[in-house]
Amino acid sequence: MKDTFNIIILLLGTIFTTCQVAFAQTSDGHKAVLVIHGGAGSITHENLSDDRQQAYAEAMEEALLVGYEIIAGGGASLDAVVAAVMVMEDSPLFNSARGAVLTSTGTVELDASIMDGATLDAGAAAAIKHVRNPISLARAVMEQSDHVLLMGDGAEAFAEEVGLEMVTNEYFRTERRVRQYESYKEQQNEGAEETGDAGVFGEPDYYGTVGAAALDSEGNLAAATSTGGTSFKRWGRVGDSPIIGAGTYADNATCAISATGTGEYFIRGVLAYRISALMQYAGLSLREAASSVVHGTLTELGGDGGVIGLDANGNVTMTFNTEGMFRGYVDGAGNTYVAMFNR
């Protein structure tokens, strides 16, 4: 644990399931706040050993520290969310870049997106196989192309053109994920019912999508999301993470949101944008809007998962309808909090 941060691993995470927190202000009067997630699902004390809990806590602490140092020093929220997400993309713990789940053909296909709340500019990449950090490609699409979403071979050709780091697909395949894949394939061959990401045999059932939302000292919001998708998915499947308005959304007038869960339902409900719309048109607070969407719309559609978000005043939401969600935030005073469980 780093001396500059006081980590509290909140095993009784219900008090942070949906929350609003008053944050200290930076010297220029604006609040600098960062919130992250590392996936939601069957995250329980029984499913996660003490060692694994510690590993996840330390990985989230690192992501928070790296991202928060940027905005605490006057940097941009866009830079902060990219930096935080890249830490989690490089960790084998999460279903994002290195450590991502495998498709039905045994490969890794990655999706990511980013949105700037100040301008409503956005960028995304889908079905990526060779870019080390897909979130960096999403940002490049936003800032160095005329498009919002690039996918597959075209996206990777663009990544090479702008000088992003390329790797073999094998780089993303960890021993843990290969074991999951082989177990899943064996079960499917024996006729087990396919259940998507909730059917990762021999492991806790959870979505390891990662995301971040930040508010910088200029009052600008940004959000970013990165994922490997669902376990044993059909190759070519694209979920909500690279879909602006579904898995990612940011608008300075309302909020910045990153989602994790059953992507098809987030797409159908346009859930990230729905939170913003409820704030803008129905006058709901961030907490109220997130709760309405996650515990209302998402649940009614039959999906599960959660969201993290910030509003323009630095209020935080970490809302989910599953047994747990890897999540954390840093307040304006530099205090760091992480949580995993719903009980």
**Is 234 part of any domain?**
yes
The pLDDT, as a whole number, for residue 5 is: 35
pLDDT score at 343: 57
Can you give the pLDDT at residue 23?
40
**What pLDDT, on a 0 to 100 scale, did the predictor assign at position 124?**
98
Smallest CA-to-CA distance from 99 within 214, 37, 178 is with: 178
Domain assignment of residue 320, yes or no? yes
How much is the pTM? 0.89
Place of tokens 């039959």: 302
Range of the domain at 151: 9-341
Q: Is residue 2 part of a domain?
A: no
Q: pLDDT by residue (tens digit) across 203-222?
A: 555 568 999 999 999 999 99
| Maximum Cα–Cα distance across the chain | 62
How many domains in the chain?
A: 1
Q: In this structure, what token pair is assigned to residue 131?
A: 């870019």
Q: Which residues are catalytic?
A: 209
DSSP label at 11?
S
- pLDDT at res. 16: 38
Q: 175 Cβ partners below 8 Å, 6+ apart?
A: none
Does residue 4 lie within any of the structural domains? no
pLDDT of amino acid 207: 65
Give the residue ranges of the chain where pLDDT is below 50: 1-28, 193-202
Report the pLDDT value the prediction gives residue 17, as an integer from 0 to 100: 39
CATH code where residue 101 lies: 3.60.20.30
Residue 44 lies in a domain: yes
Assess contact for 113 and 248: CB atoms under 8 A: yes
Q: Is residue 133 part of a domain?
A: yes
Torsion angles phi and psi, residue 124, rounded to 5: -155, 155
Residue 3, domain member (yes or no): no
For the chain, the distance separating the N- and C-terminal CA atoms, rounded to the nearest angstrom, is 24
Residues in the chain: 343
